[in-house]
Amino acid sequence: MSRDTRPIERRFVLSLALTSLIFIAEVLGGLWTGSLALLSDAAHIFLDILALALSFAALRISARPADHRHTYGYHRWQVIAALANGATLLVVAFGILREAWERWQTPEPILAGPMLAVATGGLIVNLLVALVLSGHDHRDLNVRSAFLHVLGDALSSVGVILAGAVILFTGWMWVDPLVSALIAVVILTGSGRVLRQALHILVEGAPDGVTALQVQPALAAIPGVRDVHDLHIWTVSPGYVALSAHVVLADASFARAQDVQDRIRRLLVERFGIEHSTVQLECAPCGQGLVTCAHER
Protein backbone atom coordinates (compact mmCIF):
# COMPACT_ATOMS: atom_id res chain seq x y z
CA MET A 1 0.00 0.00 0.00
CA SER A 2 3.03 2.33 0.05
CA ARG A 3 3.08 4.99 -2.67
CA ASP A 4 5.08 8.00 -3.80
CA THR A 5 3.54 10.95 -1.97
CA ARG A 6 6.11 13.56 -2.96
CA PRO A 7 4.05 15.30 -5.70
CA ILE A 8 1.03 15.89 -3.45
CA GLU A 9 3.33 16.80 -0.54
CA ARG A 10 4.72 19.66 -2.63
CA ARG A 11 1.18 20.80 -3.39
CA PHE A 12 0.37 20.78 0.33
CA VAL A 13 3.45 22.89 1.14
CA LEU A 14 2.56 25.49 -1.50
CA SER A 15 -1.06 25.53 -0.31
CA LEU A 16 0.06 26.04 3.28
CA ALA A 17 2.28 28.98 2.31
CA LEU A 18 -0.47 30.73 0.32
CA THR A 19 -3.14 30.11 2.96
CA SER A 20 -0.87 31.38 5.75
CA LEU A 21 -0.36 34.66 3.89
CA ILE A 22 -4.06 35.35 3.55
CA PHE A 23 -4.67 34.31 7.16
CA ILE A 24 -2.24 36.96 8.39
CA ALA A 25 -3.80 39.55 6.07
CA GLU A 26 -7.35 38.79 7.24
CA VAL A 27 -6.45 38.86 10.95
CA LEU A 28 -4.75 42.24 10.58
CA GLY A 29 -7.55 43.48 8.33
CA GLY A 30 -10.25 42.29 10.74
CA LEU A 31 -8.60 44.02 13.70
CA TRP A 32 -8.12 47.20 11.66
CA THR A 33 -11.63 47.39 10.21
CA GLY A 34 -13.49 45.93 13.22
CA SER A 35 -15.20 43.35 10.99
CA LEU A 36 -16.30 40.19 12.78
CA ALA A 37 -17.10 38.59 9.41
CA LEU A 38 -13.48 39.11 8.35
CA LEU A 39 -12.18 37.68 11.64
CA SER A 40 -14.61 34.76 11.30
CA ASP A 41 -13.27 34.07 7.83
CA ALA A 42 -9.73 34.30 9.25
CA ALA A 43 -10.71 31.70 11.88
CA HIS A 44 -11.99 29.47 9.11
CA ILE A 45 -8.72 29.93 7.22
CA PHE A 46 -6.72 29.14 10.36
CA LEU A 47 -8.60 25.87 10.62
CA ASP A 48 -7.79 25.16 7.01
CA ILE A 49 -4.11 25.79 7.75
CA LEU A 50 -4.40 23.32 10.60
CA ALA A 51 -6.27 20.89 8.36
CA LEU A 52 -3.66 21.17 5.62
CA ALA A 53 -0.81 20.74 8.14
CA LEU A 54 -2.42 17.71 9.76
CA SER A 55 -3.25 16.20 6.38
CA PHE A 56 0.33 16.78 5.26
CA ALA A 57 1.72 15.14 8.41
CA ALA A 58 -0.73 12.24 8.11
CA LEU A 59 0.26 11.80 4.47
CA ARG A 60 3.92 11.56 5.42
CA ILE A 61 3.29 9.12 8.28
CA SER A 62 0.81 6.95 6.36
CA ALA A 63 3.39 6.48 3.59
CA ARG A 64 5.63 4.57 6.00
CA PRO A 65 5.67 0.81 5.33
CA ALA A 66 4.02 -1.70 7.64
CA ASP A 67 6.17 -3.30 10.33
CA HIS A 68 5.89 -6.13 12.86
CA ARG A 69 3.97 -3.93 15.31
CA HIS A 70 1.74 -2.13 12.78
CA THR A 71 0.88 -4.80 10.24
CA TYR A 72 -1.63 -2.57 8.40
CA GLY A 73 0.87 0.26 8.28
CA TYR A 74 0.13 3.78 9.52
CA HIS A 75 -2.90 4.63 7.39
CA ARG A 76 -5.12 5.39 10.38
CA TRP A 77 -3.14 8.58 11.02
CA GLN A 78 -5.15 10.15 8.19
CA VAL A 79 -8.32 9.36 10.12
CA ILE A 80 -6.89 10.75 13.36
CA ALA A 81 -6.00 13.97 11.53
CA ALA A 82 -9.54 14.21 10.16
CA LEU A 83 -11.00 13.67 13.63
CA ALA A 84 -8.82 16.44 15.08
CA ASN A 85 -9.78 18.79 12.24
CA GLY A 86 -13.48 18.12 12.72
CA ALA A 87 -13.35 18.67 16.49
CA THR A 88 -11.50 21.97 16.10
CA LEU A 89 -13.95 23.17 13.46
CA LEU A 90 -16.81 22.42 15.83
CA VAL A 91 -15.34 24.46 18.70
CA VAL A 92 -14.51 27.50 16.57
CA ALA A 93 -17.90 27.52 14.84
CA PHE A 94 -19.71 27.78 18.18
CA GLY A 95 -17.30 30.54 19.23
CA ILE A 96 -18.14 32.53 16.09
CA LEU A 97 -21.88 32.07 16.69
CA ARG A 98 -21.54 33.40 20.23
CA GLU A 99 -19.58 36.45 19.11
CA ALA A 100 -22.04 37.06 16.25
CA TRP A 101 -24.94 37.09 18.74
CA GLU A 102 -23.15 39.67 20.88
CA ARG A 103 -22.40 41.83 17.82
CA TRP A 104 -26.02 41.51 16.68
CA GLN A 105 -27.20 42.94 19.99
CA THR A 106 -24.53 45.63 20.06
CA PRO A 107 -23.34 46.54 16.52
CA GLU A 108 -19.91 48.13 16.22
CA PRO A 109 -18.61 50.50 13.50
CA ILE A 110 -16.80 48.85 10.59
CA LEU A 111 -14.43 50.18 7.92
CA ALA A 112 -16.24 48.65 4.95
CA GLY A 113 -13.75 49.70 2.24
CA PRO A 114 -10.64 48.00 3.68
CA MET A 115 -12.79 45.03 4.75
CA LEU A 116 -13.89 44.63 1.12
CA ALA A 117 -10.32 44.87 -0.18
CA VAL A 118 -8.92 42.27 2.25
CA ALA A 119 -11.77 39.84 1.58
CA THR A 120 -11.24 40.17 -2.18
CA GLY A 121 -7.57 39.30 -1.72
CA GLY A 122 -8.60 36.32 0.38
CA LEU A 123 -10.93 35.07 -2.34
CA ILE A 124 -8.17 35.30 -4.97
CA VAL A 125 -5.70 33.34 -2.81
CA ASN A 126 -8.33 30.70 -1.94
CA LEU A 127 -9.02 30.15 -5.62
CA LEU A 128 -5.27 29.80 -6.26
CA VAL A 129 -4.96 27.18 -3.49
CA ALA A 130 -7.98 25.32 -4.86
CA LEU A 131 -6.28 25.30 -8.26
CA VAL A 132 -3.09 23.87 -6.72
CA LEU A 133 -4.95 21.04 -4.98
CA SER A 134 -7.30 20.33 -7.88
CA GLY A 135 -4.45 18.85 -9.91
CA HIS A 136 -4.35 15.75 -7.71
CA ASP A 137 -6.50 12.62 -7.89
CA HIS A 138 -9.54 13.38 -5.74
CA ARG A 139 -10.27 9.73 -5.08
CA ASP A 140 -7.85 10.34 -2.20
CA LEU A 141 -10.26 11.42 0.57
CA ASN A 142 -7.47 13.13 2.49
CA VAL A 143 -6.73 15.45 -0.44
CA ARG A 144 -10.38 15.88 -1.37
CA SER A 145 -11.29 16.99 2.15
CA ALA A 146 -8.51 19.60 2.07
CA PHE A 147 -9.76 20.76 -1.33
CA LEU A 148 -13.32 21.11 0.00
CA HIS A 149 -11.99 23.09 2.99
CA VAL A 150 -10.43 25.58 0.61
CA LEU A 151 -13.62 25.86 -1.43
CA GLY A 152 -15.45 26.56 1.83
CA ASP A 153 -12.97 29.38 2.46
CA ALA A 154 -13.71 30.81 -0.97
CA LEU A 155 -17.43 30.74 -0.16
CA SER A 156 -16.76 32.51 3.15
CA SER A 157 -14.72 35.17 1.35
CA VAL A 158 -17.60 35.76 -1.07
CA GLY A 159 -19.89 36.24 1.94
CA VAL A 160 -17.53 38.77 3.52
CA ILE A 161 -17.25 40.65 0.20
CA LEU A 162 -21.03 40.86 -0.04
CA ALA A 163 -21.26 42.05 3.58
CA GLY A 164 -18.59 44.69 2.95
CA ALA A 165 -20.42 45.95 -0.15
CA VAL A 166 -23.76 46.15 1.67
CA ILE A 167 -22.23 48.02 4.63
CA LEU A 168 -20.34 50.36 2.29
CA PHE A 169 -23.47 51.42 0.40
CA THR A 170 -26.16 51.14 3.11
CA GLY A 171 -24.39 51.41 6.46
CA TRP A 172 -26.25 48.33 7.77
CA MET A 173 -23.81 47.11 10.42
CA TRP A 174 -26.03 44.13 11.33
CA VAL A 175 -25.05 42.47 8.05
CA ASP A 176 -21.58 41.74 9.51
CA PRO A 177 -22.75 39.44 12.36
CA LEU A 178 -25.33 37.88 10.03
CA VAL A 179 -22.64 36.84 7.54
CA SER A 180 -20.48 35.65 10.44
CA ALA A 181 -23.30 33.37 11.60
CA LEU A 182 -23.71 32.00 8.06
CA ILE A 183 -19.97 31.27 7.90
CA ALA A 184 -20.27 29.44 11.24
CA VAL A 185 -23.09 27.32 9.81
CA VAL A 186 -20.88 26.41 6.84
CA ILE A 187 -18.09 25.42 9.25
CA LEU A 188 -20.51 23.36 11.38
CA THR A 189 -21.74 21.50 8.31
CA GLY A 190 -18.20 20.67 7.23
CA SER A 191 -17.10 19.64 10.72
CA GLY A 192 -20.12 17.36 11.12
CA ARG A 193 -19.31 15.60 7.87
CA VAL A 194 -15.63 15.16 8.75
CA LEU A 195 -16.39 13.88 12.26
CA ARG A 196 -19.00 11.44 10.98
CA GLN A 197 -16.63 9.96 8.39
CA ALA A 198 -13.71 9.72 10.82
CA LEU A 199 -15.76 8.06 13.55
CA HIS A 200 -17.30 5.64 11.04
CA ILE A 201 -13.82 4.47 10.07
CA LEU A 202 -12.58 4.27 13.66
CA VAL A 203 -15.48 1.98 14.62
CA GLU A 204 -14.54 -0.38 11.75
CA GLY A 205 -17.39 0.71 9.46
CA ALA A 206 -17.71 -0.46 5.87
CA PRO A 207 -17.12 2.15 3.13
CA ASP A 208 -20.01 4.11 1.66
CA GLY A 209 -21.93 2.13 -0.94
CA VAL A 210 -20.66 -1.29 0.20
CA THR A 211 -22.42 -3.51 2.75
CA ALA A 212 -22.22 -7.15 3.77
CA LEU A 213 -25.77 -7.58 2.43
CA GLN A 214 -24.44 -6.70 -1.03
CA VAL A 215 -21.16 -8.61 -0.92
CA GLN A 216 -22.38 -11.90 0.62
CA PRO A 217 -24.89 -12.86 -2.13
CA ALA A 218 -22.47 -11.72 -4.84
CA LEU A 219 -19.81 -14.10 -3.47
CA ALA A 220 -22.33 -16.89 -2.97
CA ALA A 221 -23.39 -16.60 -6.64
CA ILE A 222 -19.88 -17.47 -7.89
CA PRO A 223 -19.84 -20.94 -9.49
CA GLY A 224 -18.26 -23.45 -7.10
CA VAL A 225 -19.28 -21.57 -3.93
CA ARG A 226 -21.78 -23.34 -1.65
CA ASP A 227 -21.86 -20.90 1.28
CA VAL A 228 -20.29 -17.65 2.58
CA HIS A 229 -20.10 -16.90 6.30
CA ASP A 230 -18.04 -15.00 8.89
CA LEU A 231 -17.91 -12.06 6.45
CA HIS A 232 -16.33 -8.81 7.67
CA ILE A 233 -15.77 -5.55 5.76
CA TRP A 234 -14.05 -2.53 7.29
CA THR A 235 -12.23 0.64 6.33
CA VAL A 236 -8.61 0.86 7.45
CA SER A 237 -8.26 4.41 6.12
CA PRO A 238 -9.93 6.45 3.35
CA GLY A 239 -9.56 4.43 0.16
CA TYR A 240 -8.13 1.38 1.94
CA VAL A 241 -10.87 -1.23 2.47
CA ALA A 242 -10.29 -4.70 3.87
CA LEU A 243 -12.41 -7.86 3.82
CA SER A 244 -12.24 -11.29 5.39
CA ALA A 245 -14.61 -14.19 4.78
CA HIS A 246 -15.02 -17.95 5.05
CA VAL A 247 -16.15 -19.58 1.81
CA VAL A 248 -17.48 -23.15 1.66
CA LEU A 249 -16.64 -24.89 -1.62
CA ALA A 250 -18.94 -27.18 -3.56
CA ASP A 251 -15.87 -29.00 -4.90
CA ALA A 252 -12.75 -29.19 -2.73
CA SER A 253 -10.30 -30.14 -5.49
CA PHE A 254 -7.21 -27.97 -5.62
CA ALA A 255 -7.76 -26.76 -9.21
CA ARG A 256 -11.36 -25.81 -8.50
CA ALA A 257 -10.39 -24.05 -5.28
CA GLN A 258 -7.80 -21.96 -7.13
CA ASP A 259 -10.38 -20.98 -9.78
CA VAL A 260 -12.93 -19.98 -7.13
CA GLN A 261 -10.38 -17.92 -5.22
CA ASP A 262 -9.34 -16.07 -8.40
CA ARG A 263 -12.99 -15.33 -9.20
CA ILE A 264 -13.59 -14.03 -5.66
CA ARG A 265 -10.64 -11.65 -5.74
CA ARG A 266 -11.54 -10.39 -9.21
CA LEU A 267 -15.17 -9.75 -8.22
CA LEU A 268 -14.16 -7.91 -5.03
CA VAL A 269 -11.81 -5.59 -6.92
CA GLU A 270 -13.91 -4.93 -10.02
CA ARG A 271 -17.38 -4.67 -8.45
CA PHE A 272 -16.72 -3.39 -4.93
CA GLY A 273 -13.25 -1.81 -5.13
CA ILE A 274 -11.89 -4.07 -2.35
CA GLU A 275 -8.26 -4.94 -3.08
CA HIS A 276 -7.19 -6.25 0.35
CA SER A 277 -9.07 -9.48 1.08
CA THR A 278 -8.41 -12.58 3.16
CA VAL A 279 -10.56 -15.54 2.13
CA GLN A 280 -10.55 -18.87 3.95
CA LEU A 281 -11.71 -21.76 1.73
CA GLU A 282 -13.49 -24.66 3.46
CA CYS A 283 -15.15 -27.96 2.63
CA ALA A 284 -17.92 -27.40 5.21
CA PRO A 285 -18.99 -24.61 7.56
CA CYS A 286 -16.30 -24.26 10.20
CA GLY A 287 -16.39 -23.83 13.93
CA GLN A 288 -14.35 -21.07 15.63
CA GLY A 289 -12.75 -20.17 12.31
CA LEU A 290 -10.87 -23.47 11.96
CA VAL A 291 -10.16 -24.99 8.53
CA THR A 292 -12.14 -28.19 8.21
CA CYS A 293 -10.28 -29.87 5.35
CA ALA A 294 -7.13 -29.75 3.27
CA HIS A 295 -7.16 -29.20 -0.50
CA GLU A 296 -6.33 -32.15 -2.68
CA ARG A 297 -3.38 -31.84 -5.03
Angle 95-99-105 from CA coordinates, rounded to 5° = 150
Q: Identify the pLDDT of residue 286.
A: 67
User: Binning pLDDT at 50, 70 and 90, where does residue 9 land?
Assistant: confident
The yes-or-no answer to whether 6-202 and 212-282 have a common fold is no
CATH, domain range 212-282: 3.30.70.1350
Q: What is the CA radius of gyration of the chain?
A: 25
Taking the C-alpha atoms of residue 167 and residue 161, their distance in angstroms, rounded to an integer, is 10
Return the closest-CA partner of residue 232 out of 240, 224, 242, 222. 242
- Cα→Cα distances 5→18, 22, 137, 192, 236, Å: 20, 26, 12, 28, 18
pLDDT digits (tens, 9 = 90+) for 236-290: 877 788 999 999 888 767 667 888 999 999 999 999 989 889 998 888 776 544 4
Q: How many Å separate Cα 238 from the centre of its chain?
A: 7
Taking the C-alpha atoms of residue 88 and residue 182, their distance in angstroms, rounded to an integer, is 18
* Helix/strand/coil for 137: coil
Domain spans of the chain, in order of start: 6-202, 212-282
**Which of the two residues, 210 and 174, has the higher pLDDT score?**
210
CATH, domain range 6-202: 1.20.1510.10
User: Binning pLDDT at 50, 70 and 90, where does residue 297 land?
Assistant: very low
Q: Are 274 and 218 in contact (CB under 8 A)?
A: no
